[in-house]
């Protein structure tokens, strides 16, 4: 994100802290929840050296969700950055699946900060007023966002995205992108699952070595010459066993990077789906227009080219009067006019959507390639660090064994 910082050029944003709160919820029941401190500071202030106290406000996860839902319905042609997961998934046994667990809260804090930074560095999203007031307006933000009526739009959007419909002339590019989104989601899920199981096993390997520490220590008590060597080797085995906690904590950070793109894949698919919907609505409008035009022709020329129940019943029960026909024609003309407007409108929407969406998709692709490459590199660096620790511990152990 070094290219265009937009809002970030003017403002420093961070999610500095997390705190537990208790309060009464909507159904007047006592609940415990976590709030996150959003700090903002004008960039200039820091560089002037005055370093004033940042502005800050507390928000809970559900408010972040509301913000994101608002962004989704307002900018359906953009790949909207995802939030960190609602519940801990792909968990290996030692890692808590509890939302209240301090490690989970900490990782969520980092994820929420990441979300805000992503939005703030997006060329379009960063200019959104609701986003700005989310960062700056503690009270009243909820009302402001509700007034936009996004909730209703969010519900209908969800419904539409899950509906099944067929597009006659699908846009190849979007179809491919949707397919890519499906594959990305599938493969990252698989990778996260496999990685979690491997982490679980690795934990076991390291921790069992701790038993060496205990037994060597006990054994050293009954030996004369061997005692010191065994005892000190035992300490290194304990250190080895303990080292896995840090190793796996770092790896969890890598898993979080993968998860972000797992959820990004979903956002990408949503854009493609929305495009399909837009296309479908255009096709429906065009189809409707064509059929209306056909009806007008039939009425005008008196021929029935296409089967219609009305046509058949009128044939069976007698033709209409000329006056009735005139009225009908006039109505059809109006409808056709409206229909043509609608098609024009929808066509315009579709073109706009395609243009904007494709720009953002290209931006997303570049960001994804860059970020995931960085993630793979940081994974390699983690592995190297783990190997170096292993080399050190076993060299130390070897020295101790030599003194046996």
Partner 1 sequence: EFSVDGLSRVLMHILYFTSSASMINQYKFEEEEEDADTKDIFVTVDNPESHVTAIETYITYRVETKTTRSEFDSSEFEVRRRYQDFLWLKGRLEEAHPTLIVHPLPEKFVMKGMVERFNEDFIETRRSALHKFLNKIAEHPIFSSSEDFKIFLTAGSGELTSHKKQGPGFLSRMGETVKAVAAAVRGVRSRPQEFTDMQEYVEAFSQKISSIDKVTQRIVREQKEYLEELKECGPTYALWSQSEEELAEPLKNVAGCVDKCCKETDEQVKHLNDHLIPVLHEYVLCADTLKAVLRRRDNIQADFEAKTEALATKKADRDAMRDELDKTEDRLEWANNALKSDWTRWQKGMRTDLRSAFIDTAERNVSYYEKCLAVWESFLQSQRTDAEGNGNVDFS
Number of residues lying near partner 1 (CB under 8 A): 53
Q: Does 369 bind partner 1 (CB under 8 A)?
A: yes
- Of 195, 273, 274, 346, the one binding partner 1 (CB under 8 A) is 195
- Of 191, 239, 286, 329, the one binding partner 1 (CB under 8 A) is 191
> In this chain, which stretch among 28-36, 44-52, 191-199, 331-339 interacts with partner 1, using CB under 8 A?
191-199
Q: Does 388 bind partner 1 (CB under 8 A)?
A: yes
Q: Which is nearer to partner 1, 80 or 393 (CB)?
A: 393
Q: Does 94 bind partner 1 (CB under 8 A)?
A: no
Nearest to 80 by CA among 277, 364, 334, 305: 364
| Complete edge-to-edge strand list for the sheet that includes strand 55-60 | 11-24, 30-42, 55-60
Burial of 109-144, coded b for 16+ CB within 10 Å and e otherwise, reads: bebbbbbbbbbbbbebbbebebbeebbeeeeebeee
> Smallest distance from the beta carbon of 253 to partner 1, in angstroms?
17
Q: Does 4 bind partner 1 (CB under 8 A)?
A: no
> In this chain, which stretch among 96-104, 151-159, 210-218, 326-334 interacts with partner 1, using CB under 8 A?
210-218
Looking up tokens 């840090």, which residue turns up?
246
Opening angle at CA 384, ends 379 and 385, nearest 5: 95
Q: Under the phi-then-psi rule, with left for phi > 0, alpha for psi from -120 to 50, and beta for the rest, what region is 98?
A: beta
Q: How is the chain split among helix, strand and coil, in percent rounded to 5? A: 70, 10, 20
Q: Which is nearer to partner 1, 104 or 212 (CB)?
A: 212
Nearest to 120 by CA among 128, 69, 16: 128
Q: Which is nearer to partner 1, 64 or 216 (CB)?
A: 216
Opening angle at CA 243, ends 241 and 244, nearest 5: 80
> In this chain, which stretch among 11-19, 166-174, 212-220, 312-320 interacts with partner 1, using CB under 8 A?
212-220
> Smallest distance from the beta carbon of 260 to partner 1, in angstroms?
15
- Of 97, 215, 312, 327, the one binding partner 1 (CB under 8 A) is 215
Looking up tokens 């190793």, which residue turns up?
247
What tokens does 180 get? 């890519």
List residues binding partner 1 (CB under 8 A): 180, 183-184, 187-188, 190-191, 194-195, 197-198, 200-202, 204-205, 208-209, 211-212, 215-216, 218-219, 222, 225-226, 229, 233, 368-370, 372-374, 376-377, 379-381, 383-384, 387-388, 390-391, 394-395, 397-398, 401-402, 404
């Amino acid at each position: 994100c070094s290219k265009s910082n937009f809002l970030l050029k003017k403002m420093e944003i961070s999610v500095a802290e997390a705190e537990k709160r208790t309060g009464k919820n909507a159904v007047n029941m006592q609940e415990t929840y976590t709030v996150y401190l959003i700090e903002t500071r004008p960039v200039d202030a820091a560089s002037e050296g005055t370093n004033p106290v940042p502005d800050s406000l507390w928000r809970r996860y559900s408010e972040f969700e509301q913000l994101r839902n608002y962004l989704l319905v307002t900018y359906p042609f953009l790949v909207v950055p995802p939030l960190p997961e609602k519940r801990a998934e792909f968990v290996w046994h030692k890692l808590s699946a509890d939302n209240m667990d301090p490690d989970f809260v900490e990782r969520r804090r980092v994820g929420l900060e990441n979300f805000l930074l992503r939005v703030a560095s997006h060329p379009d999203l960063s200019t959104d007023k609701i986003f700005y007031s989310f960062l700056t307006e503690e009270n009243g933000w909820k009302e402001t966002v509700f007034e936009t009526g996004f909730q209703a739009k969010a519900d209908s959007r969800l419904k539409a995205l899950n509906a099944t419909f067929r597009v006659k002339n699908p846009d190849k590019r979007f179809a491919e992108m949707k397919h890519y989104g499906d594959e990305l989601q599938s493969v990252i899920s698989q990778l996260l699952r496999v990685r979690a199981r491997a982490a679980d096993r690795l934990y076991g390997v390291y921790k069992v070595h701790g038993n060496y520490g205990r037994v060597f220590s006990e054994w050293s008590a009954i030996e004369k010459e061997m005692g010191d060597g065994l005892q000190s080797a035992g300490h290194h085995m304990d250190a080895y066993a303990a080292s896995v906690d840090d190793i796996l904590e770092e790896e969890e950070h890598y898993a979080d990077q993968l998860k972000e793109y797992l959820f990004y894949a979903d956002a990408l698919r949503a854009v493609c789906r929305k495009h399909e919907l837009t296309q479908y609505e255009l096709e429906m409008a065009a189809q409707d227009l064509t059929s209306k035009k056909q009806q007008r022709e039939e009425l005008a020329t008196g021929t029935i080219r296409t089967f219609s129940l009305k046509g058949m019943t009128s044939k069976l029960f007698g033709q209409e009067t000329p006056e009735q026909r005139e009225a009908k024609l006039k109505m059809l003309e109006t409808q056709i006019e409206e229909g043509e407007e609608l098609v024009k409108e929808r066509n315009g929407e579709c073109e706009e959507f395609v243009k904007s969406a494709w720009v953002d998709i290209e931006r997303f692709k570049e960001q994804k390639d860059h970020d995931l490459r960085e993630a793979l590199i940081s994974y390699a660096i983690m592995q190297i660090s783990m190997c170096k620790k292993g080399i050190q511990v076993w060299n130390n152990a070897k020295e101790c064994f030599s003194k046996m």
